[in-house]
Amino acid sequence: MAVNTILLDFSVDPSLTKTDGSFTVLSTNIENVLRDFLTGLKTISSFELEGSLIKIFTANRGTVVNLRIYSNGLVTLNIDYYKGEKQEPLLTLENSHALERDLKERVVEIKRTQALPILTRGTFMRYYQTSDERILEYDIDNLVFEEVTPYQKVQIVHSKTLGNMLVLDDLQNIAESDLIYTETLMQRGKENYKDKEIVILGGGDGALLYELLKEKPKEVIMLEIDDVVMKACAKYMRSICGDVLDNYSGANYKIIVGDCMKSLEQYIKEGRKFDYIFGDLTDVPISEDHSEQLWAFINKILQMSCKVLKPTGKFMTHLTGTSCPEAVEQYSQYLQKLQPSVKYTMDRAFVPSFLEEWVFCQVSFSNSGPAE
């Protein structure tokens, strides 16, 4: 059960939308075409607003049509209707394209048209955004799990092509299709984790922990604040996390539920050092102005992590999409200000559930490492 929205945009010569009469002629011609596709169409309101004409229609099955003609020649047509679970669509994609063709053929004023795919609204979320805030539509057909915790909204949805996908606060995080994400984050084949001591900051989906344990490290400590994420992934995302979230400790790993910064502070006090620290927390903001508080958090994580790394240690993290080069550059600037000085490399990989290429960063000390 959902609301279906059909959006069509038109363009006409601005000279045809300069007078009340031309507005009326154009709107009447469009209305005549609509009547062939929408039974019971009738006008319920017509008014002018800031140099544009707006007409609102209703039709059978509770359909609402919003037609707006702007004085610059832009015309928008929005059709909303409710579709029950067993109901046939009022207008299929094929019908909406036929409507577009008829409008262009029969309304001679229209020179250019664009019909967007039908939007499905009011059901489990199918639309997410890229790192630079464009809309992505997924073939999600089921909401598998949902719970709001003190920290975030946790969802697991099912995609026909990507499998189950973890979504936190309406942002896609990882799907069963995304082994490349984890392998690029850990630089599999380029780094040697055998007998190493490792900390994961975040990583509640368990994918990184699961893959690292295959490399025979000495110990992996995972610091995750949200127990609900781990329990949900242990049940519904087992293809990426295996059984590592079933128990919060094992022969060479342990999971600490809590604020990772408090654990880092404790390690600093103890003088404890690690070979690798993974930042598997939030992505970097898309710009410095986008979230000053989040950038401050990211910078603090960097500084604290450097204090618990061995001189030969590395900090490994994910950044954002390649479509946001300004954010990647901003992160680089934070790295360049770190003391002691660090060097860094970056890698990238196309992540299936992100539907875009993602940037990953590897940070190490330039010289002998931090002072003891």
CB proximity list for 24: less than 8 A, separation 6 or greater:
53
Peptide bond into 340 cis (omega under 30): yes
- pLDDT above 60: residue 209: yes
| Cα distance between residue 235 and residue 216, in whole Å | 25
pLDDT at 267 (0 to 100) = 97
* CATH class of the 179-365 domain in this structure: alpha beta
Q: What is the DSSP letter of 30?
A: H
Positive or negative torsion for Cα 186, 189, 191, 196: positive
Are 2-120 and 124-175 the same fold in CATH? no
- pLDDT (average), residues 292-314: 90
- pLDDT above 80: residue 129: no
SS in 3 state form for 325-350? HHHHHHHHHHHHHCCCCEEEEEEEEE
- pLDDT above 80: residue 14: yes
| Cα distance between residue 170 and residue 135, in whole Å | 12
| Cα distance between residue 278 and residue 270, in whole Å | 20
- pLDDT above 60: residue 372: no
- pLDDT (average), residues 8-13: 88
pLDDT at 194 (0 to 100) = 98
| Cα distance between residue 140 and residue 266, in whole Å | 42
Residue percentage of the chain with pLDDT more than 90: 61
pLDDT at 1 (0 to 100) = 65
- pLDDT above 70: residue 288: no
- pLDDT above 90: residue 93: no
pLDDT at 286 (0 to 100) = 58
Q: What is the pTM of this model?
A: 0.80
Tokens 């609900």: give the residue.
228
- pLDDT above 80: residue 61: yes
User: Of 84-98, 194-208, 267-281, where does mean pLDDT reach its minimum?
Assistant: 84-98
pLDDT tens, residue by residue, 80-89:
988 877 777 7
CATH superfamily of 2-120: Sirohaem synthase, central domain (3.30.160.110)
Radius of gyration of the chain (CA): 27
- pLDDT above 80: residue 289: no
Active site amino acids:
280
The DSSP result for 226-259, as a single string, is: -HHHHHHHHHH-HHHHTTTTTSSEETTEEEEES-
| Cα distance between residue 77 and residue 10, in whole Å | 8
User: Of 63-67, 233-237, 242-246, 365-369, where does mean pLDDT reach its minimum?
Assistant: 365-369
* CATH class of the 124-175 domain in this structure: mainly beta
End-to-end Cα separation, the chain, in angstroms: 62
- pLDDT above 80: residue 205: yes
User: Of 210-224, 251-265, 357-371, where does mean pLDDT reach its minimum?
Assistant: 357-371
For the chain, the structural domain boundaries read 2-120, 124-175, 179-365
The per-residue pLDDT of the chain, averaged, comes to 90
User: Of 104-108, 294-298, 368-372, where does mean pLDDT reach its minimum?
Assistant: 368-372
